[in-house]
Amino acid sequence: MSTPRVLSDAPWLRSGPTARVLELLNGHGEEARVVGGAVRNALLKRPVADIDIATTALPSEVIRRAKAAGIKSVPTGIDHGTVTLVVDSHPFEVTTLREDTETFGRKAVVAFGRDWVRDAERRDFTINGLSVDAAGVVHDHVGGWDDIAARRVRFIGDPHARIAEDYLRILRFFRIHAAYGAGEPDRAGILACIGGRAGLATLSAERVRMEMLKLMVAEGAAVAVQAMADGGLLLQIFGGVAYTGPFIAMIAAERLLGLPPDPVRRLGALAVAVTEDAKRVALRMRLTNAETKALDSMGHRWWRLAGMDEAIARRRLYRLGEDRYRDRLMLAWARAGRGVDPAPWRELATLPTRWSASKFPLKAADFIARGIAQGPLLGQVLALAEDGWLAANFPLDEAAVQAIADQAVARFTRDLRL
């Protein structure tokens, strides 16, 4: 049974590029509707990013109509019936209605169809199964409307069967719940995810990365991540222990500092205590080089950043750079246990906003002038002088700087003689 209701407050449906695409595809026996995430977000009054459109028209007809209207079409997923139309530089994925005939793990063999109910039923969760037509009428064939009102993320159909068709849905379940749901995840959904968890091993690392990084920064990440840990899912994903306490404390620390959520830093709190953790997780999730480095840094001696006085904190900040300093410090904070006084941690975490080191004022020339020859030894003297400069608390006046250069050379030549 379908229960039509109206989507108000969606000006993008009435005019502009979306309206134009719908108008193009409607009529002459065909129908097009906006489907999936865009409808969900519009109803939840969340920003609508990509607008997906479903249509009864076959891909060849979509391309024909676009061409006749002077609209660019790109056959981005033609095998699956998807054509991307570009209107005013907005891309729209237009997919012909389909019915799965067979599924093999992630890959489905599709046949085109003209049935909106079947199209809704193929989708993962009821709140993702709504469609809206050009007149703004919302078509609900799966009970998504009420679930949106209740902020309930439920599988369409039997959760066990839907997961066995596509194990990515396990990760999507927790991510979509974290982003759009309220309270604890749906019980039947959780149980089916636990039942299907071994199937996570069949997913590509890239897809796991994408879902997990989105999950890390979702509004309700704490509850969803706890449910995943309790169900043994994080152990399956990370191949090692998950630290939910530090993860929740990291979210709290970020909020206290007014920092935007950082997916990799949150992942570090959840999965990394030592560098072995970082290496394993980066590999299993195929993180980018930059992400891998950030995660790896978090596994290094973060504990030394607890209880530093300001002078030591400055030296560490200078050595680590702002991002690494903050990541490690916040990890130490998140791991300091419940009920710690946040005041000293906040002081240390905000050091980069209050202070930044000047550039090390000595150059190779300063040491060549003191009789050190070009070559590897020169680098060693420079490093020694930099240590001295840090220990002296970053002085800039000329006399102090020159004295540091003299001391470094004296120490170096003495060490060489020993």
Give the footprint of ligand ATP on this chain (CB under 6 A): 36-37, 52, 123-124, 128, 166, 168-169, 172
Of 48, 41, 34, the C-alpha closest to 179 is 41
State in angstroms the smallest separation of the CB of 286 from Mg ion.
Answer: 22
Contacts of 36 by beta carbon, 8 Å cutoff, 6+ apart? 52, 123, 128, 129, 130, 131
The yes or no reply on residue 37 touching Mg ion (CB under 5 A) is yes
Contacts of 15 by beta carbon, 8 Å cutoff, 6+ apart? none
What letter would DSSP give residue 153? Answer: -
Side chain identity at residue 346, one-letter code: R
338: left (phi over 0), alpha (psi -120 to 50) or beta: beta
State in angstroms the smallest separation of the CB of 224 from ligand ATP.
Answer: 14
- Kindly calculate the radius of gyration of the chain based on its CA atoms and give it in whole angstroms: 28
Integer Cα distance of 402 and 188 in angstroms? 71
Identify which of residues 55 and 128 has a Cβ nearer to ligand ATP in the complex. 128
Identify which of residues 50 and 102 has a Cβ nearer to Mg ion in the complex. 50
State in angstroms the smallest separation of the CB of 151 from ligand ATP.
Answer: 15
- Residue 400's H or E segment, with its range, is helix 398-417
Determine contact, residues 227/190, Cβ cutoff 8 Å.
Answer: yes
With CB under 5 to 8 Å by kind, the binding choice for 262 among ligand ATP, Mg ion, none is none
The yes or no reply on residue 246 touching Mg ion (CB under 5 A) is no
Identify which of residues 37 and 181 has a Cβ nearer to Mg ion in the complex. 37
With CB under 5 to 8 Å by kind, the binding choice for 124 among ligand ATP, Mg ion, none is ligand ATP
Identify which of residues 34 and 332 has a Cβ nearer to ligand ATP in the complex. 34
The yes or no reply on residue 388 touching Mg ion (CB under 5 A) is no
State in angstroms the smallest separation of the CB of 32 from ligand ATP.
Answer: 16
Integer Cα distance of 366 and 347 in angstroms? 36
How many CA atoms does the CB half-sphere of 37 hold within 13 Å?
Answer: 11
With CB under 5 to 8 Å by kind, the binding choice for 144 among Mg ion, ligand ATP, none is none
State in angstroms the smallest separation of the CB of 180 from Mg ion.
Answer: 12
With CB under 5 to 8 Å by kind, the binding choice for 128 among Mg ion, ligand ATP, none is ligand ATP
State in angstroms the smallest separation of the CB of 265 from ligand ATP.
Answer: 21
Residues in contact with Mg ion by the rule CB under 5 A: 37, 50
